[in-house]
Amino acid sequence: MDTIWTRGVSPTEYPALVGDTQTDVLVIGGGMAGILIARELSSRGVLCAVVEAGRIGMGVTSGTTAVVSAQHSTPYSRLLDDLGRDRAKAYLDANLEAVEEIARTAQGVDCDFERRPSVIYSTRDKEKLIREAETVKSLGFPAYFSRDFPANTGAVGAVIFPDMAQFHPLKYLYGMASGLTIYENSVVRRVKDMTAYTDGGSVRAKTIVIASHFPFLDRRGLYFMKMHQTRESVVAVEGGPEIGYTAVEDEEKGFFLRGYGKLLLVGCGNHLPGEENDDFARIGLFLEKFAPGSRQVCRWVNQDCVTLDGVPYIGRYSPALPHIFSLKAKKHRTNPVRCFFLRQSSSFPMKYGSCFCHQHQSWFTSKPQ
């Protein structure tokens, strides 16, 4: 996939798995979530390895717009209503912790990390945003409501999360992958008796974390019945305004935007694979108003999973598989390519790291069967 992130970077090449080996923890999937859990475990002295079907970071990670934020649409008022204050606050705290963890680890990596306020705006429902801002503030974070922002979008208001961030996802991932045991171009065909088998060999592990694009062990967890795929489109242009924030429209197929150097990234979507769509035409019309005279540099389409209840599937893969874990972030319907997993991919490793080191965990939300 050709995106602005894949241009001008030189990824490190890792060998394919050849022969049989053993490790304490095997991570299947070399995207952002998989690499970060491996990095976290390695930092705790756990022997681990990553097996990736293709090249690390070349799936969903390479197509994200790489916004790092605890804000993704307006979930906190809904979580407060559905799950109660304690769980809503735990979810917020986990996301905020993830933002700070990425900020901390990005300090040693040349990945264009920049602090930016994160914005959710609406062109219709001001009251919904006011309530969301009040809810988040009551949970302990200084979010606030602003009228008529962002400019030139027709917004009636916005919820603003200060001090969020953005970065270059592949530069960051390659930095986090340095020093890890990684096998590329090694498709896991099956997992049996805590051993993962590829065409070239096998890895036996005490614990397995499935961090692939889709949880592929169908007989347990039934994830294929509880997730579906969505696709979204992104255009990078030059000659547009330099914006000092990241923003997402709170609509089913709303727009999302961020800056990167002298480029402006604008996207929209949320349609099923194969479904007819007019994403790029809509983006073109949006740019005529928001960035007149801008010129397209690159465009791409990304795809990822949406969970049934809008909460990530994390935790034990199934009660029948006590030593296999699911590490599947979800995409929020409003702004999938903006990449919710970048927030959750950082909070997962910290929680999983503690779990594997036998510390208490209170926020796992997945209840697989």
- Tell me the DSSP string of 240-290: S---SSEEEESSTT--EEEEETTEEEEEEEEE-TT----HHHHHHHHHHHH
pLDDT at 6: 94
Which pLDDT score, from 0 to 100, does residue 360 have?
32
- Name which of 348, 71, 347 is nearest 211 in CA terms: 348
3-class secondary structure, 328: strand
Query: Of 55-59, 127-131, 218-222, where does mean pLDDT reach its minimum?
Result: 218-222
Share of the chain above pLDDT 70, in %: 88
**What average pLDDT does range 135-156 have in this prediction?**
92
pLDDT score recorded for residue 339: 35
What pLDDT is attached to residue 73?
78
**CA-closest candidate to residue 219, choices 191, 188, 199:** 191
Higher-pLDDT residue of 74 and 347 is 74
Q: Between 85-106 and 75-83, two packed helices, what is the crossing angle to 10 degrees? A: 140
Give residue 328's pLDDT: 64
Ramachandran sector of residue 293 (left: φ over 0; alpha: ψ -120 to 50; beta: rest): left
Identify which has the larger pLDDT, 262 or 150: 262
Handedness of CA 224, 35, 94, 60 (dihedral sign): negative
Average pLDDT, integer, range 1-11: 89
* pTM of the model as a whole: 0.88
Top-confidence residue, 220 or 9: 9
pLDDT digits (tens, 9 = 90+) for 292-312: 999 999 999 998 888 777 667
pLDDT of residue 329: 55
The pLDDT value recorded for residue 358 is 43
Residue 139: both structure tokens together: 């949970």
Q: Does residue 96 surpass a pLDDT of 50?
A: yes
Pairwise pLDDT comparison (129 vs 220), residue with the higher score: 129
CB contact set of 333 (below 8 Å; sequence gap of 6+): 73, 230, 252, 270, 306, 310
Nearest Cα neighbor of 225 from 301, 313, 302, 303 is 313
Residue 264 or residue 307, greater confidence: 264
**Reported confidence tier of residue 349, pLDDT bands at 50, 70, 90:** low
